[in-house]
Structure 1
Amino acid sequence: MTPSTQIREDLPEAFEILDPVWIAMPDGANLAARILLPRSASSKPVPAILEYIPYRRRDGTLLGDTPRHAYFAGHGYAAVRVDLRGSGDSDGILLDEYRKQEQDDAIAVIAWLAAQPWCNGKVGMTGYSWGGFNSLQVAARRPPALKAIIPVHATDDRYGDDCHYMGGGLLLGNLSWASTMTTFSARPPDPAIVGERWRAMWLERLGQSPPLLLEWMAHPLRDSYWRRGSVGEDYGAITAAVYAVGGWADPYTNCVLRLLANVKAPVKAMIGPWAHAYPHDARPGPQIGFLQESLRWFDRWLKDIDNGIEREPKLSAFIQESTPPASDYETRDGRWVREAAAPSPEARQAWYLGEGQLADRPLPGGAPLQHRSPETTGITTGEWCPYGNPGELPIDQRADDGRSLVFDSARLAAPLEMLGTPVLTLRVAIDKPVGIVTARLCDVAPDGASTLISYGVLNLTRRKGFDRSEPMVPGQPETVRIALNDLGQRLKPGHRLRLALSTNYWPILWPAHEAATLTLHAADCRLELPVRKAGANEGPDENPFRAPEAAANVPFTQLRRGRRERVIEEEATTGRTTVVINRDLGAYRLEEDGLEFDGRAVERFSLTEGDPLSARAEIEWHYRMRRGDWEIGTVSRTILTGDTRQFRVSVTMDAYEGEKRIFSRETTRDLPRVGL
C-alpha cells in the first residue's frame, strides 16, 4: 500500500473467510473460490462481488486482493475470488485467455452465487487487466444476476488495444506477457488444498498448457480470434451498469472514453494519472478513495440505494500539468475535471504541418520531406505497460526527437488543454513494401526538455484495415490516419507542442524486416487535437473523491523486496544496443500457512544499428514455491528472432521438485511474417 492509503480496522461488518469453496461447473470440473462473507448474511442476504482471474487466490494475488475484498465484505458484500479453470487450485488446463469456456464458467459461477441462501440474488464483477477484460466480456453475455461491473485497465478491442498488436504492428509486450503466462500457468495447485493429487494435476498442466505466444502470433490480423471477447463489436450487448476506470500512465485507457460514448446501459467513467494498478494504491498519485467509489456504484445497482451516483457527471478525468520528464513520479501535478459526456470528436481542433513547424493555421506548402529513423528510435519511451515501479516511465524524449522528423509549434501564448483522442492524418510514401510510422506528441519546456504525452503507431500494410495486409507500392503516396493514445494534458504558456514522426519504435514494436525511408507531403497533413475549454465554474482544486482507504492485510513477511531496473547497453564497436529489464516480484512468506513464493524475470531486447533482422528478444523467468519440506520451481525461456519471411519462436520450460528436474519441454516454431 502507498503511504497515503488509510488502513481501516473498524469496518462496519464482521465477516468470515471461506476457503476453499468448490463451485461445480456443468461439465463436472470444480473451480476453487475464496469467499469473504459478512456474518450478517445468514439472516440478511447480501450481494456478491466477483473477481475472476488466473493468478492464484491463496498466494499469487492474496496480498493485493485481501485489502480490497475485506473492505467490501466489511461493508456488507460477499467478496468472491475465483481461480479460473486450470489456475490455482481449480481443475482443468488454462488453454488461452478469454476463451468461451472462461465466460461459460463465469456465467455458471454467477448463477451459483445468486442461488446461495446468503446472497440477495444480485452479483457484481470487478477486476483490473484480465479481471477487467472478462468483466466486460461476461457482461456482454448478459447473465441475469449480473447487475453492475467496474472494469479497471481493460479493453474493448483485443487486437488493437491489448499487449499483442498496436496499429497493426507487433508489440514486444506480446512476448513479455506470453512469457509471464508460461510461468504463471506452470504453477501447481497447493497440496494443502487438493491433497496428494497435486503432483498429477501439476504434471498435467506442465504437459498440456500451450505456449500462448504461438497462438497470438499466428493471428497477425484482426480476425475472428481477436473479435471474440472484444465487446466493441457490440456495445449494445452490455446491459449491466458499467463504471470504466483507466489511468494515463497505463496502456489500457483508450477504451474508457469509447465505453462511455457507446454503452447504452448506465455508464460512468474515471481516468486518473495512474499506471497499471488499482487507483487507491497506484502510482503516480494522487491516489483516491477508489474502494469507497466502488461501493457507491455497487450500492446503487446491487442494493438499490438511491445515492445519486448515476445523476452525477459521467466522466471524471485528471488533467495533467506540464511536468519535467522522469522515469518515475511519486505524484503528478494536475486537477480533476468532470464532464457530462465523453469528449465529442467534432470538438477537435486542426493543426497543420510545415517544414519543422506545427501551427493552428495552414502553412505554406514545400518540398516533400524524407526521413529514415535509426533502428534504436524509441528507447526513451519506457515500458509499454508500467505498473508504477521506478524506471518504467518515458524519460526525456530529446534523444528520440533527434532521431525523428520533428514539427514544433510556436511558444504557446496561453495554456493548451486537451482531453480525448488526438488524430493524425498523413500523406506519405515509403520506398519499401512494408514500413511503420510512429507519431509522438511531446510537451517541450522552455529549457528544451521534452515530455512524452501521447503516441500512436501504424503498420502501413494495415492502412486499409487491420483485418487485411496490403503492401505499399514503393514511392506511391497514400493518405493514412493514426489515432494516438487518449490524453488529458494541459501545456503551460511558454511551452511548445512537438509532433515527432519516426519509422521505428524499439523496443515497443518489432521492426519491419528492412529499413524504409519515409516521404512526407507535409502540406497535405494535419493533426486534430481534442482541445478542451475549461468550464466557467470550474474550481482549480475540484476533487470529487475521498481519501484512499483499504482493509488490513493477512499477516506476511517480505523476504526480498521486489525491484524494477531498466538498463540500456550500447556497444560502440558493434553498434548493438540492448535494453535489459529486471522484473523482480520479490519473495514473500504467508504467516498463516507458511507458504513462501518467489518470482523474477530478466528481459533482453537487442538489435544492431542498420540491421533490423538482427532484432532479438529473450526473456527468462524463475519461480519457486515452498512450505516445509515441499518445494517446487520452474525456469522458462522465451526467444523471438526473425528473417525476411518468418519469425522463429522458441519456448522452453523446466520444472523442479526440490532440486530434481521432473519435466522439460522445448517448443520451436516458425511463423510467417504477414506484413510485419
Structure 2
Amino acid sequence: MTQDGFTVSEDTWITLRDGTRLATRIWMPDDAAGTPVPAVLEYLPYRKRGGTDPRDESTYPVFARAGIAGVRVDIRGSGESDGVIDGEYTPRELSDACEVIEWIAAQPWSNGRVGMMGISWGGFNSLQVAALKPPALKAVISLASTTDRYNDDIHYKNGTHLSAQLSWAGTMLAYQTRAPDIALVGETWRDMWRERLEKEPYFLEEWLSHQRRDAFWKHGSICEDFAGFEIPALIYAGWADGYRNTPLKAIEAMPGPARAIIGPWIHKYPHFAWPKPRTDFHAEAIAWWKHWLSDAPEGDVPAVRAYILDGPRPALRREADPGYWIAKDTWTRPEMRVLGIGADGRLCDGPDFPGMGEVFLRSPLDTGISSGEWFTLKPDAEMAGDQRIDAGGSLLFETAPLTDEMVCLGMPEVALLLRCDEDVENIAMRVIDVHPDGMETRASFGVLNLAHRHGNETPVPMPHGESVPVHVRLDAMGYRFAPGHRIKIALSTAYWPLILPSPKAPGVTIDTASLRLSLPLLGAYRRISIPEPADPDPLPRYRMLSEGQTRRSVNKDLMTGMTEYRIHEDTGLEVHPDSGLQSQEIRDEVWSIAPDDPLSVCGQSRWDIRLQREGWQTRSSTFADLRCTETEWVLTAEVHAFENDREVFSKTFSRRIPRDLV
C-alpha cells in the first residue's frame, strides 16, 4: 500500500535459519531503494494485525516520512508467525531477534544500522537483545521495561507474590490461543492454530516453579552485567505505572550513553498516555535514531528529564496531573532526608527519634483495596485511590503540616526493627501526601517478604520472636510535598489484591523508635519545558461494530466476611479499515479473600477473544484459577477453541507447586 512518502506492506516474511517464517509489516520510505535508510525493529507477541495496529499506525508512518524504515515482527508462535511460543524472553526468542536484526541489516534498502524499540515486552527484549551486542544493533528505545525480571516485573516483588502474575498468565494463555489470520496465511491457518493450541505452555506453571531469584530470572535481567551494557539506550517510564524504577536504575549503572525520561503516565506510549501532559515521542525518537543510526548531531540532552508531580489528587479519572518538568545533566544517588518517630508519634526530623514503644500490627487481609493495579492501562480505578480507604488496617505516622516544600526524585528507603513468630510474613510501606483537606495521594510504595530481607536468592526464615533489622528500597518517585501538606508513612502486613498474603499472616511487632524514612531530595536541577505532540489524538480510530466497556468494583459480603475485587474489560468488536479483520477481547477477573484467613485467597481470570471476517470466525475461551494451601500453590487452567461457534479443541492444565517461603 502506497501512502504519502512511504509504502507499507505485509507480504514480506523473515525466514530464520531453522526454516521458521516470521510475519512482518514494513513501513518503507519512498527513497530507500536509491538511498539506503536506517531501520527500527519492534518485536512482539501481541499481533501486528488485530493487536497493536493502532499504536503502530500512529508511529511508523511518521518514522518512514523521516527516512527511517519501521519493521514490526511477530515473534515465533504469535500472530501469523510459524511455531509455538516457549515462554517470556527465552534464549530462543532473543536468538531469533538477533537473526532478524542481521536480516534487516543485509537488505539492499538498509544502511546496515538497526535500532530496536518497544514498550513493555518490546521494551524488555530491546534491552535484553542489546545486552547480546548483535553487530548491527546500534541503539535502543525502551519504554515501561525492567532491568531486573524478578523484582521489577509482574511476578514477584521483594519476595512477595504479585497478583498480576496470575493476571498476566491468563492474558498470555488467551493471547497465544488466538488463530492466525486466514487472509495472510491461507488454508494453513487451521494447522498453525492447532499446533499452538496443543503445545502452548501455561506460563504460570514455570513462574511458580521459580519463587526465588534464581538463574531463570537472572536470564534477561541486564542488571546482572550493567558494566557490559554499551549500546546507547533511551529509557522511558511513567510514575503511574509499575515499571517506574528502570530509568533511574539504568542511568545510575550503565556505562554506555543512556538517557532517561519519566513522566506522569500509565503503561502507554507517551504521545497518547494519561495522565497528561504528554510528550512529542515521535520527535524525540526520530532525533535519537538520526543521531545513532545516521550520525546526526545529538545536541544537548540531559541525563534525566523527569516530571515532578505537584500534589495530584486521587480521582475517578486522572486526565492531567499538576507538576513541572526538570532536567538533571548528571545523575548520582540523591541526598536523603531522614525522618523518624518522635515521642508524640509524629513523623519528624531528628536528631532524636524516641518513638512510642513497640506496636503489634496484623492487618485485615483485605487491606489494600485502594492500591490500584500494578500494571496500569487506564487513568481510572487502575491507579491508586484515596489512601484513607486503607488507613484502618495500617500503622500510620505523619508529619506536622510542612512549612517549606520538600521536592523528591529517586527511591525512598525505610529501615526498622521488627519481630515475627512465624517463618514468613509480608510488610507493605507507603509514602503518602496528605492534602490540607485530608485527601491522601500515594507518592511511593514498597513491599517485602520478610524471609527475603537478606536477598531474593536464598530466603532465610524469620527467627521466631527475635527482633531483626529490615531495610526496604521503595519505588521511585518524583514528587513535591507542598507547604501545608503532611507526609505520612503507612505500614501494613497486607496489601491485597496487589500482593497475595503469606501462608499464616501472623503479623509483626514493630519497634517504632527504630523506624527511619529516608526521602530522596531533588538536588541541583533546572526547569525545562518538553513539547507536547501537535496531534492531541494521534491514534487512528476504527469502526466499532459493538461498543466496549470497563467496570471495576469491590464487593463486601457482610454475612460471610468475604471481599471480592472484580474487573470487567470489553474492547468492543472493531473492524480494521484496511485488513477487514474484526477483533474483540473480553476479560473477567475476580479476586476474593476473607479478612482473617490467608488460605481463602483465590484469583480467577477468564478471557474470550474473537477474530473473524466474512465467512470465517474463530473464538478462544480461556480460564485460569489460582488458590493455595499452607504448603502449596494450586493451579488449574482451561483452553477452549471454536470455529464458527463449534468447539474444535479443549485442554486442561492442573498442577500443585510447593510454596517456597512465599
In the TM superposition, what is the alpha-carbon distance from 1:527 to its structure 2 partner? 1.2
Give me the whole-angstrom Cα distance separating, in 2, the residues matched to 1:653 and 1:421: 41
2:315 pairs with 1:326: yes
Contact 1:68 1:550 in 2 (8 A): no
Give me the whole-angstrom Cα distance separating, in 2, the residues matched to 1:353 and 1:550: 47
* Residues 556-565 or 392-401, more deviating: 556-565
In the TM superposition, what is the alpha-carbon distance from 1:307 to its structure 2 partner? 3.7
Other-structure match for 1:386? 376
Match among 205, 211, 219 for residue 214 of structure 1: 205
What are the equivalent positions in structure 2 for 1:209-608 lying under 5 Å apart? Answer: 209-308=200-299, 311-345=300-334, 347-354=335-342, 356-361=345-350, 362-533=352-523, 535=525, 538-539=526-527, 542-549=528-535, 556-608=542-594
Contact 2:231 2:256 in 1 (8 A): yes
Other-structure match for 1:14? 5
> Structure 1's 416 and 561: CA in aligned 2 closer, same or farther, altered over 3 A?
farther
Other-structure match for 1:149? 140
Give me the whole-angstrom Cα distance separating, in 2, the residues matched to 1:238 and 1:26: 27
2:640 pairs with 1:650: no
Other-structure match for 1:616? 602
TM-score for the superposition, normalised by structure 1: 0.95
1:164 partner letter: H
Give me the whole-angstrom Cα distance separating, in 1, the residues matched to 2:355 and 2:407: 28
Give me the whole-angstrom Cα distance separating, in 1, the residues matched to 2:149 and 2:137: 22
> Structure 1's 384 and 563: CA in aligned 2 closer, same or farther, altered over 3 A?
farther
2:493 partner letter: T
1:516 partner letter: P
Deviations 1:359-392 (A, max 9, x none): 1213224421111101111001111111124321
Specify the SS of the correspondent of 2:513: helix
In the TM superposition, what is the alpha-carbon distance from 1:552 to its structure 2 partner? 7.2
Contact 2:277 2:532 in 1 (8 A): no
Give me the whole-angstrom Cα distance separating, in 1, the residues matched to 2:301 and 2:141: 17
Name stretches of at least 5 consecutive residues in structure 1 with no aligned partner.
Answer: 1-10
In the TM superposition, what is the alpha-carbon distance from 1:563 to its structure 2 partner? 3.2
Contact 2:364 2:595 in 1 (8 A): yes
Other-structure match for 1:5? none
Give me the whole-angstrom Cα distance separating, in 2, the residues matched to 1:170 and 1:299: 42
* Residues 323-332 or 432-441, more deviating: 323-332
Give me the whole-angstrom Cα distance separating, in 1, the residues matched to 2:523 and 2:259: 21
In the TM superposition, what is the alpha-carbon distance from 1:262 to its structure 2 partner? 1.0
Contact 1:391 1:564 in 2 (8 A): no
Specify the SS of the correspondent of 1:523: strand
In the TM superposition, what is the alpha-carbon distance from 1:464 to its structure 2 partner? 1.4
Give me the whole-angstrom Cα distance separating, in 2, the residues matched to 1:35 and 1:547: 24
Other-structure match for 1:627? 613
Give me the whole-angstrom Cα distance separating, in 2, the residues matched to 1:446 and 1:208: 57
Deviations 1:550-588 (A, max 9, x none): 997667312234333210000011110000011223321
Specify the SS of the correspondent of 2:572: strand
Give me the whole-angstrom Cα distance separating, in 1, the residues matched to 2:521 and 2:428: 22
Match among 125, 135, 141 for residue 116 of structure 2: 125
Match among 640, 646, 658 for residue 660 of structure 1: 646
Specify the SS of the correspondent of 1:298: helix
Contact 1:287 1:548 in 2 (8 A): no
Contact 2:154 2:162 in 1 (8 A): yes
Query: When the two structures are aligned, how many residues end up with a matched partner?
Result: 658
2:42 pairs with 1:56: no
2:57 pairs with 1:66: yes
Give me the whole-angstrom Cα distance separating, in 1, the residues matched to 2:222 and 2:11: 32
Other-structure match for 2:82? 91
Contact 2:357 2:513 in 1 (8 A): no
> Structure 1's 551 and 572: CA in aligned 2 closer, same or farther, altered over 3 A?
closer
* Residues 471-480 or 166-175, more deviating: 471-480
In the TM superposition, what is the alpha-carbon distance from 1:28 to its structure 2 partner? 1.2
Give me the whole-angstrom Cα distance separating, in 1, the residues matched to 2:601 and 2:540: 44
Contact 2:341 2:355 in 1 (8 A): no
2:434 partner letter: V
Q: Percent identity?
A: 39
Contact 2:430 2:490 in 1 (8 A): yes
Give me the whole-angstrom Cα distance separating, in 2, the residues matched to 1:551 and 1:43: 34
Match among 151, 157, 162 for residue 171 of structure 1: 162
Specify the SS of the correspondent of 2:259: strand
* Residues 93-102 or 513-522, more deviating: 513-522
In the TM superposition, what is the alpha-carbon distance from 1:525 to its structure 2 partner? 2.2
* Residues 218-227 or 229-238, more deviating: 229-238
2:333 partner letter: S
Give me the whole-angstrom Cα distance separating, in 1, the residues matched to 2:650 and 2:291: 52
Contact 1:327 1:392 in 2 (8 A): no
Other-structure match for 1:7? none
Give me the whole-angstrom Cα distance separating, in 2, the residues matched to 1:64 and 1:585: 15
Give me the whole-angstrom Cα distance separating, in 2, the residues matched to 1:173 and 1:475: 32
2:492 partner letter: S
Give me the whole-angstrom Cα distance separating, in 2, the residues matched to 1:577 and 1:200: 44
In the TM superposition, what is the alpha-carbon distance from 1:239 to its structure 2 partner? 2.1
1:631 partner letter: Q
